[in-house]
Structure 1
Amino acid sequence: MPNTLIFVDLPSDDPAAAARFYAEVFGWQNDEKPAGVYHRMVPGGQFPNPDGTDSQIGNLHLGIFDAANARPHPDSAGVEPRALSTTGRKPRIWILISDDDSAERILAAATQRGAKELWRNHYWSTFNGYNHAFEDPWGNEIVLWGKAGPEPKVPADFTRE
C-alpha cells in the first residue's frame, strides 16, 4: 500500500488570524487544536468517485501552526527557527476551485483580507487547468486551480503553457 498524504501545514506568526483568513476566504471550518497554537482547517465534503458521487474519503485538511513553536515536537519549548521565512522559494499549496465558486471571488476575498495577488489568468495545458495565485498575509503561496474541461475554451487574455 502507498503511504498517504494526510495534511499540509502552513506557518503563521498568528495562527488564529490565519485560520480566520482561510475560513473567510474559502468557507472552511476552523478547528482550534488549541486556539492560537494549531488550527486545523476542515474544507468538508468528500473526494468524488469517478461517477461524481461522494466517496468515503474526506477532503484533505490544512494545518496552521505557530512559527515560534511548531507543534507537535518532543521539546515543549520548540526549536529554531522561530520566525516565518520571508524570502526565497517556498512550498505552494494548490486549491481546487469548487464548481459553485470562482477565482475572481476568491482573489477578491483574499486581497481584501491582506493577501497579495501574484498572478491570474494562466492556462496550463499539461494538466488542463486555469491557474491564479496569491500570497497570504504570512507569506504562503496559494495557487488556485480551475477545471478546464474536456474541450477547454481558453480566454484570449490568458497566458498559456
Structure 2
Amino acid sequence: MTNTLIFVDLASDDPAAAGAFYAEVFGWENDARPEGIYHRMVPGGFFKNKDGSDSQIGNLHLGIFDAGNARPHPEPAGVEPRTLSTTGRKPRIWVLISDDDSADRILATAQTLGATILWRNHYWKEFNGYNHAFVDPWGNEIVLWGKAGENPQIPADFTRE
C-alpha cells in the first residue's frame, strides 16, 4: 500500500478572510476549526466513476492556516517563520472546474475578491485539458483545470503546448 495524500494547506495572514474567499470563489464549505486560526475548506461530494456516478472516494479538503502561528505544532506559540512567502516559486493547487461552473465565473469572482489573474485560455495537450490560473490575495497560486474531452476543438484564442 502506498502513502496517501490526504490534505494540502495554504498559508494566510488572515485565515477567516481566506476561508470566506474560497467559499465564495468555489462554493466550498468554510469549516473554521477554530475561527481565524485554521479553516478547513470542504468541497463536498465524491470523485466520479467513469460512468459519472459517485465513487466511494470523497473529494480532498484544503486547509488554510495562520502563517503567524501554523497549527498543529508542539510549541503553543509556534516558531519562525511567521510571514507569508512572497518570492520565488511555491506549490500550486490544481482545482478541477465542475461541469456546472465555468472558468470565467471563477476567475471573475476571484479577481473581484482581490486575486490576480496569471493567465487564461491555455490548452495542455499532454494531459488534454484547458487551464487558467490566478494568485489569491495571500500569494497562493491556483490553477484551474477544465476537461477537454475526446477529440477536443481548441478555441482559436487559446495558447497551446
SS of 1:155's equivalent?
coil
Q: How far is the alpha carbon of 1:2 from its aligned partner?
A: 1.1
SS of 2:19's equivalent?
helix
Residue 103 (structure 1) aligns with: 103
Confirm or deny that 1:71 pairs with 2:74.
no
Q: Distance in 2 between matches of 1:61 and 1:146?
A: 19
The count of aligned residue pairs is 161
Residue 52 (structure 1) aligns with: 52
Residue 19 (structure 2) aligns with: 19
Equivalent position amino acid for 1:128 in 2 = N
Residue 38 (structure 1) aligns with: 38
Q: Distance in 2 between matches of 1:57 and 1:18?
A: 26
Q: How far is the alpha carbon of 1:85 from its aligned partner?
A: 0.4
Q: How far is the alpha carbon of 1:148 from its aligned partner?
A: 0.1
> Which deviations, in whole Å up to 9, do the C-alpha atoms of 1:128-158 show, x marking residues without a partner?
0000000000000000000000111100110
Q: How far is the alpha carbon of 1:95 from its aligned partner?
A: 0.2
Q: Distance in 1 between matches of 2:157 and 2:30?
A: 36
SS of 1:126's equivalent?
helix
Q: Distance in 2 between matches of 1:79 and 1:72?
A: 11
Residue 2 (structure 1) aligns with: 2
Q: Distance in 2 between matches of 1:73 and 1:152?
A: 47
Q: Distance in 1 between matches of 2:88 and 2:58?
A: 33
Residue 142 (structure 2) aligns with: 142
Q: Distance in 1 between matches of 2:122 and 2:50?
A: 27
SS of 1:16's equivalent?
helix
Residue 127 (structure 2) aligns with: 127
Equivalent position amino acid for 1:144 in 2 = L
**What's the TM-score once normalised by structure 1's chain length?**
0.99
Q: Distance in 2 between matches of 1:119 and 1:50?
A: 30
Percent identity over paired residues: 80
Equivalent position amino acid for 1:85 in 2 = S
Q: How far is the alpha carbon of 1:49 from its aligned partner?
A: 1.7
Equivalent position amino acid for 2:50 in 1 = P
> Which deviations, in whole Å up to 9, do the C-alpha atoms of 1:51-110 show, x marking residues without a partner?
221011110000000000000001111011000001110100000000000000000000
Q: Distance in 2 between matches of 1:119 and 1:51?
A: 32
**What's the TM-score once normalised by structure 2's chain length?**
0.99
Divergent runs of 4+, >3 A: none
Unaligned runs of 5+ in 2: none
Please, which moves more after superposition, 47-56 or 134-143? 47-56
Unaligned runs of 5+ in 1: none
Q: How far is the alpha carbon of 1:50 from its aligned partner?
A: 2.4
